[in-house]
Amino acid sequence: MWVFAGERFACIKICGRASFSSSIDFRTLVQELQQKGYTYFVLDLSECTLMDSTFLGVLAGFGLQSSSTRPDRTDITLELLNPNERVTELLESLGVLQLFKLTQGPLPEAADGTPTMPLAPCCPTKEEVTRACLEAHQTLIQLNPQNAAKFKEVATFLAEDLKKAKPGV
């Protein structure tokens, strides 16, 4: 993952496969950028080959956040730049495509030619990864009830795994 944070927007470039392991880094980065006042995000997917369901769930959560009215009345935009056909099909099959602005073409002018920085990965615990995976799948189920058939068993397994990790939860 690479990031460019300009004056008006932040651009995050995903290279390779976007998976559960990178979803925590992505979520943390977007939350930190939001806290700094960024409201327009461009996710450059020109080199992203595939997204797993956890990453899609995290992405859908931000998409849902951007489509809802915020208390401070600021709009958040999440633009997916150059998603390949497979990623677009996955978003559509999960019923979350409408949460995003899809565009094709070059990076916005302000980012073109501007150096980007690689994102240093965080080192989440097994429990944090499991919780992130569970929340992502619950988001996908919440957004589209048809996803329950696809992810119910995964969500149940992850919830049970969390209970084993923290008895009494």
- What would the pLDDT profile of 36-87 be if each residue is shown by its tens digit? 888 899 999 999 999 999 999 999 998 887 765 555 546 778 899 999 999 9
**Residue 43 within any structural domain of the chain:** yes
**Residue 19 within any structural domain of the chain:** yes
**Among the listed ranges 23-32, 109-118, 126-135, 142-151, which one has the minimum average pLDDT value?**
109-118
**Residue 114 within any structural domain of the chain:** yes
Count the domains in the chain: 1
**Residue 157 within any structural domain of the chain:** no
For residue 69, give its domain range: 2-122
Joined together, the tokens standing for residue 28 give: 């943390």
- What would the pLDDT profile of 99-139 be if each residue is shown by its tens digit? 999 999 987 665 545 555 556 667 788 888 899 999 999 99
Amino acid at 27: R
CB 110 within 8 A of CB 7: yes
**Residue 156 within any structural domain of the chain:** no
**Residue 160 within any structural domain of the chain:** no
Domain harbouring 113, CATH code: 3.30.750.24
CB 118 within 8 A of CB 93: no
- 156 φ/ψ angles, rounded to the nearest 5 degrees: -65, -45
pTM of the model: 0.82
**Residue 165 within any structural domain of the chain:** no
**Residue 134 within any structural domain of the chain:** no
Confidence of residue 2 (pLDDT cuts 50, 70, 90): confident
Measured distance CA(38)–CA(13) in Å, rounded: 16
